[in-house]
Structures are given as structure tokens and as C-alpha cells.
Amino acid sequence: MTGKAFTPRSGLPKGGMARNDKTMTVQAITPGCAGGLPFAYGSRHLVDLCVKRWSGGMESAVFRRAVRAGFAVTLLASSGLALAAGGDEVGLQPVIVEDKEYRFDSAEQHGISARVIARGLSHIYSLAFLPEGDALVVERGSRLRLLRRATSERPELATDAIGGVPEYSRQEHVHPDDVLGIQDIALDPGFSSNRLIYFTYNKPIGFNVKAGRLTVSSVLARARLDGMRLIEMKDLMLGEPVIGAGGSRIQFGRDGLVYVSVGALSTGDIMSAQRVDNIYGKVLRLNADGTPAAGNPFARHKGARPEILTYGHRDPLGLAIDPRSGVLLASEHGPQGGDELNQILPGRNYGWPVSTYGTEYGGSPLPQTPVKAGTQGPMMVWLPAIAPSGISFYSGDKFAHWKNNLFIASARRGQINGTGALIRVVFNENLQEMRQEVLLDGLHQRFKDVRQGPDGLLYAATDEDDAVIIRLSPLAE
């Protein structure tokens, strides 16, 4: 294969969609059938099949609009993958969120308004509000954008991206599964005075000739935000160079430490999630300068990464701290079914890929017990899958009846595209689930992140070619 053959199609989120929607992982969890699937992108036959499928039922105007927005390209690509895997990826027709007020209701908090406050973004991964009301928006793997006056009536998306962000659009030998560049972003707790931000990114390190793939490290970096530029950027913590590094999140603890979750490898050395000699499939605990936090459970183990707090995670793409107990939670993509919410407890093994709920893609059962002896079972599990990413607890006062509820950005439900939503979970004082509710599913978006603004309102971001930020506020009386 030449380098050119690996170039992702326009509009395809560089492996992010496939990985997070778990259309790819049937190989990863089945010993002996690795490889092959990525080349589905190059199959004209498969693409033709998908064109027929996705254009067949649409009115031409709708189809044209979807193509213009890039939806069709995305759907074609993911459909091609699923067909190659022996599965049959299906979904609803693409929907574009309009510039109007959407009204909906919820069980405890009645009368909610949802409205787009920014659009024309590409595959949003993360949002971070600045103290003065602006927001930083990560377009996964490519750019960091500034949404001025994000909490105001008329937010304005700065046309230029923020400079100084590592970016690899001209990188040679990029494979469709490679997720390069910026992932998550978080403000230093002292941001108001020091303007420091933390971010994770996947950095190309070399090229593995045998595999024909880039080797990539997941990195935690820090930089100072100076106007529209990042300056004084420094890599604080680097992962081992691997093939196929995935997603990551950052969460500052109340202890001032930095918690970083890193996805497991979905190809090749997938058992690395069960070993503590590498950072993949782990939650890490670091000091603010990137050094390992004191007291980490594997610090004295020979050959272990001293940053590791927990291991055996698959794709822990959301982190949040319960405002009542201070407990750290992580959302995690399972295989087909088996998405998890985990309480992060030092030293524990969360099972992947040895034990898990869910089935392989296509339906055949996984050969493991869901929670093997000696591993930590999830505190919540979703069957069918919800493809969870960013999570946030609500702690504001604008939605009095949502206080301490957990919100989960879900990309889709039950392996059907176009069924994403915000999931709201109500816990009791012991962090046990009492009930949960599906919100905004009528918008048919792939939700990727959800955050509370400094104004006490909720903001949700979508992972679409034409990605939007949606503000939730109480309906005016």
C-alpha cells in the first residue's frame, strides 16, 4: 500500500468514528483475525453498495443537503466498514439541527429550551469555558477554536483557529484508523491568573515498516493561551509509541492532580490494556507538571508506568467528579453492548479485554465472563450500547431539579446511527442509580461532549461533519 492509499476520505473523522462506534473492534477482540478491515475504505464495490443504500430512500433535496453537510460521506465510510466486518450498519436519515428553539420536557425539570449557539464546526471532541465566558472548542484531531461570548445571546465563532496547536494534516502514511492531533482540553485551576491550559494529543513518532503504519504516542501537554495563540507548549507526559492510539480525556481533581484517561489499543497489542508497562487502556494520575502523583499504586512495580492509577479500560472517553462525594467516574465504550460507567478506584483492574459485558459485532457472544474474579465491575452498564463520551455532573442552580445529575454525551444507541442523545442519570446519595432519562434524541445527533457553563446552563457538542454546540436553558416563564 502506498501512503496515498491510506489518506482518509474527505469528511471522515480519521478513525474516530469507526473506533468510537465500535465498528472496527471485532478484529481487536477476536484473536487471530486482526487486520484487513481498514482497507475497506479503498473498496469501490463497498462504497457503491453504500451509495445505493443511503441515496435510495431519500428525497433528492434532502440528499443534496446531506451531501453538502458531509453527512453522506461519513455514512458511506462507516457503512463500508460495517459491511466489511460482516455486520450491517444501519441508521436514520441524516438530520441537520435548525436555528430555532427546540422545546422539550424532562421528568423532574419541566420546560427546557435547546438552541444552536454555534455551527459550522467539525467533529467537536471537547469544550472548555474560560472564566470570562468565551469557550475553547476542540475539533478532534485538527483545530482549537474560540467561541467568543459563548454564554451571551450572540456567541461568535472566531474564523481563525488558535495557533500553535500540534496538527498533522500533511503527515505522510496516515491510515484511516489513525487519530492524530488534539483530543481533550482542560483549563489549569489557576487559569485566571496563569492562562495555562492542558491538552492531550496523539503525536506521530515513527513508521512501522512491517505494519505499514505510523507509530504514535498519546501525550499530555501544557501551554499558555496568549490571545489567539498557544505559546510555551511543553509535552508533560508521553505514552509509548504504538500503532493505533485512540482517545483520551483530562480531569482536574479536587486534590489539584491531573487525571488522564487513555483508550486501549484496538489492533495489535490489545493485551497492553492488562499490563502496567504502558499508558494505553489506563487512567493516570499526575502532578500538574506531568510527573507521577505520589502514592500511585504501581509506582514501586518494576517496569511499570508510575503514572497509572487504574488499568483494563477499553475507551474511557469521559471523566467527571461527583460533586457530592468527590468520587471520580469514567464513561467507557464497551464492545457491542456493554458500555460502562466506572468508579475509578486506585489499583483496580476494569477487565478489558479479558472480561466485559456485551457481544462481538454481528452478535456472537464474547467468550468471557462479564466480571472476572479480581476485576472491578462497572457501576452502570448499557445494553444496548449508547456510545458514551464526555460526561458532566450538573452542579448549577439554573436547573434546580437536575442538581447532582450526571449527563452523558451518547453518539448512538443500539448500533443504529442517528440515535444519539444526552443521557441523564439520577443517583442517590450513595451514587447508586435511581433512574435515567434520554434527552435530545429527537435531534438525531452524535453527541460527544456536555459541559456546564459558568452561567449554570448546560452545553452539548456534536461529533458531526457539520458539528454544533447546543445550549440548554429553562424556558422563559
Query: Is residue 351 involved in binding Ca ion (CB under 5 A)?
Result: yes
CB of 295 to Ca ion, least distance (A): 24
Q: Mind spelling out the 3-state secondary structure of 220-242?
A: EEEEEEECCEEEEEEEEEECCCE
CB of 320 to Ca ion, least distance (A): 17
Rounded (10°) angle between helices 44-56 and 71-84: 120
CB of 357 to Ca ion, least distance (A): 8
Q: Three-state SS for 232?
A: strand
Interface size with Ca ion, residues (CB under 5 A): 2
By beta-carbon proximity to Ca ion, the closer residue of 238 and 271 is 271
By beta-carbon proximity to Ca ion, the closer residue of 19 and 333 is 333
Query: Is residue 129 involved in binding Ca ion (CB under 5 A)?
Result: no
**Cell numbers linked to 70:** 458531509
Which residues, at least 6 apart from 22, have a Cβ–Cβ distance to it below 8 Å?
333, 334, 335, 336, 361, 385, 387
CB of 183 to Ca ion, least distance (A): 21
Q: Which region among 146-154, 171-179, 256-264, 349-357 touches Ca ion (by CB under 5 A)?
A: 349-357
By beta-carbon proximity to Ca ion, the closer residue of 340 and 441 is 340
CA–CA dist 295, 300 (Å, integer):
9
By beta-carbon proximity to Ca ion, the closer residue of 239 and 316 is 316
Which secondary-structure segment (H or E) carries 284? strand 282-286
Per-position x/- string for 181-220, each x denoting binding to Ca ion as judged by CB under 5 A, each - no binding: ----------------------------------------
CB of 245 to Ca ion, least distance (A): 20
Which residues, at least 6 apart from 210, have a Cβ–Cβ distance to it below 8 Å?
none
Count of beta carbons in the 10 Å neighbourhood of residue 343: 18
CB of 351 to Ca ion, least distance (A): 4
Q: Which region among 251-259, 264-272, 348-356, 383-391 touches Ca ion (by CB under 5 A)?
A: 348-356
The answer to whether 185 and 144 have CB atoms below 8 angstroms apart is yes
By beta-carbon proximity to Ca ion, the closer residue of 259 and 350 is 350
The answer to whether 111 and 138 have CB atoms below 8 angstroms apart is no
Give the β-pairing of 467-474 and 458-462.
Answer: antiparallel
Residues of this chain, 431-470, that bind Ca ion according to CB under 5 A = none
CA–CA dist 225, 215 (Å, integer):
29
By beta-carbon proximity to Ca ion, the closer residue of 114 and 308 is 308
**Cell numbers linked to 146:** 474560540
| Phi and psi torsions of 347, nearest 5° | 85, -5
By beta-carbon proximity to Ca ion, the closer residue of 178 and 332 is 332
CB of 283 to Ca ion, least distance (A): 12
Query: Is residue 338 involved in binding Ca ion (CB under 5 A)?
Result: no
CB of 444 to Ca ion, least distance (A): 29
CA–CA dist 145, 130 (Å, integer):
12
Place of cell 485566571: 192
By beta-carbon proximity to Ca ion, the closer residue of 76 and 381 is 381
Q: Which of 129, 168, 311, 350 binds Ca ion (CB under 5 A)?
A: 350
Interface positions with Ca ion (CB under 5 A): 350-351
